[in-house]
């Protein structure tokens, strides 16, 4: 197989721009690919929040949806497919890499049908979890999700668990390549920790606990509050909540009802996530389901032990009893107990911190995992009989 380093591609990346794992992964992947000399085109209705406004080898194509009285809801999928086709005609793409099956994979399919055969890029769909386990299983979307998978030239999933679930539930004819998420351990680094930064959230002698998500019901944000409430009864601690979403106000209200409002800080979306995560003593992720658990991995890279649910792909990220603990979904009492053990037992916090950092660096290194994506791109291009032409670049 040709060395990907010798072959620069035009790659379209389609993602949700919001505060969530799929958007983060797509953004970070695109930036890593651009750093390797590929031309990366981002497509979304707004600039993905981790993509700089100006960055070498990257381009942003905004998908605009016109409101029209005939439509109760703006037809974003059609607008996206149209934008993809327009750009592919002007600057032919080798790869359209879509993150999250619905609506991105079907928009990519529609795009290819609007193009002449010689203009068509190969399409790769990366599955991130709820696009398969929640949205895709809804009766309104099941058939079109399966169709979009069957008509993707390649499919990847971020964990073994998600790949298996996809094959079981959708019986797709395609094989699913497993490519886990990655973390830049230089950016997410315990060296960022400082008492001056911690003092913005904690008083002397307090432990700092944190949570990061898009505050959807599947994240069980209220369980973060409940777990912290139990923990706070016995330990001096403060909780920082990073992110926003539909469960933000319910979480605020619950903290007030439990009498811990002054011990919880809601930060909203944070641009400099590593600077906050690195100040933590413990990270809580009590989700109903996580296909991978990118937030947990980013905390681990910062040397922060994790207490999370034993669900989905989280056991592939958090080694139970080594760099954190896994508990059953909704068992807030067990989570509080495990958190207290890490924080108070002699030497455990330091040992778990070191193990978390080492696991993140060793198993989820960007150089290795982005290289796997490059290899997969080449594999699919060669299987499809497509050659990336030098004149496509630039």
256 with 137, same domain: the answer is no
For the cut 50, the answer to whether the pLDDT of residue 370 exceeds it is: yes
Q: What is the average pLDDT score of the chain?
A: 91
> CB under 8 Å, gap of 24 or more: what pairs does 56-59 form?
58/30, 58/31, 58/34
Note the pLDDT of residue 171: 77
38 with 161, same domain: the answer is yes
18 with 155, same domain: the answer is yes
Q: How many residues would you count in the chain?
A: 394
User: Residue 47, CB half-sphere, CA atoms under 13 Å: how many?
Assistant: 10
231 with 137, same domain: the answer is no
266 with 377, same domain: the answer is no
76 with 203, same domain: the answer is no
Note the pLDDT of residue 24: 87
CB neighbours of 382 closer than 8 A, spacing ≥ 6?
Answer: 1, 2
- The mean pLDDT of 132-151, rounded to a whole number, is 77
- The mean pLDDT of 144-170, rounded to a whole number, is 92
Helix (H, G, I), strand (E, B) or coil at 265: strand
32 with 50, same domain: the answer is yes
Number of structural domains the chain divides into: 2
- The mean pLDDT of 61-88, rounded to a whole number, is 88
For the cut 60, the answer to whether the pLDDT of residue 4 exceeds it is: no
Range of the domain at 92: 4-182+365-392
Note the pLDDT of residue 20: 65
pLDDT, tens only, 226-283: 999 999 999 999 999 999 999 999 999 999 999 999 999 999 988 899 999 999 999 9
38: CATH: 3.40.50.2000
Note the pLDDT of residue 241: 98
CA neighbor of 284 nearest in space, from 344, 229, 227, 360: 227
What pTM value is reported for the model? 0.90
30 with 149, same domain: the answer is yes
37 with 176, same domain: the answer is yes
SS (H, E, C) 206-226: CEEEEEECCCCHHHCHHHHHH
For the cut 70, the answer to whether the pLDDT of residue 101 exceeds it is: yes
């Amino acid at each position: 197989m040709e060395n990907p380093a010798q072959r620069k591609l035009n790659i379209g990346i389609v993602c949700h721009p919001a505060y969530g794992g799929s958007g983060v992964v797509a953004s970070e992947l695109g930036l890593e690919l651009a750093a390797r000399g590929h031309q990366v085109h981002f497509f979304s209705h707004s600039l993905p929040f981790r993509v700089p406004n100006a960055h070498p080898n990257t381009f942003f194509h905004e998908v605009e949806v016109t409101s029209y009285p005939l439509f109760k809801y703006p037809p974003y999928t059609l607008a996206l497919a149209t934008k993809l086709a327009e750009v592919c005609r002007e600057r032919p793409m080798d790869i359209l890499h879509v993150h999250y099956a619905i609506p991105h994979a079907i928009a990519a399919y529609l795009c290819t049908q609007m193009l002449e055969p010689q203009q068509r890029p190969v399409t790769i769909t990366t599955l991130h979890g709820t696009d398969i386990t929640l949205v895709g299983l809804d009766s309104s979307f099941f058939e079109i999700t399966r169709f979009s998978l069957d008509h993707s030239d390649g499919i990847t999933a971020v964990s073994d668990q998600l790949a298996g679930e996809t094959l079981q539930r959708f019986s797709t004819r395609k094989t699913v390549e497993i490519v886990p998420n990655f973390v830049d351990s230089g950016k997410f680094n315990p060296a960022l920790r400082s008492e001056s930064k911690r003092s913005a959230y904690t008083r002397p002698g307090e432990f700092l606990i944190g949570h990061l998500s898009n505050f959807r019901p599947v994240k069980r944000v209220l369980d973060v509050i409940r777990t912290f409430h139990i923990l706070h009864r016995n330990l001096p601690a403060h909780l920082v909540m990073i992110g926003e979403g539909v469960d933000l106000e319910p979480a605020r209200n619950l903290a007030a009802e439990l009498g811990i409002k002054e011990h919880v800080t809601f930060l909203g979306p944070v641009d400099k996530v590593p600077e906050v995560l690195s100040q933590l003593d413990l990270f809580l992720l009590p989700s109903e389901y996580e296909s991978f658990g990118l937030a947990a991995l980013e905390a681990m890279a910062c040397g922060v032990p994790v207490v999370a649910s034993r669900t989905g792909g989280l056991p592939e990220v958090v080694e139970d009893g080594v760099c954190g603990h896994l508990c059953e979904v909704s068992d807030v009492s067990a989570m509080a107990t495990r958190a207290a053990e890490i924080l108070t037992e002699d030497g455990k916090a330091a040992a778990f911190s070191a193990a978390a950092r080492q696991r993140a660096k060793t198993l989820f290194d960007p150089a290795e995992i982005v290289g796997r994506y490059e290899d997969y791109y080449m594999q699919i291009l060669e299987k499809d009989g497509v050659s990336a032409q030098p004149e496509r670049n630039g």
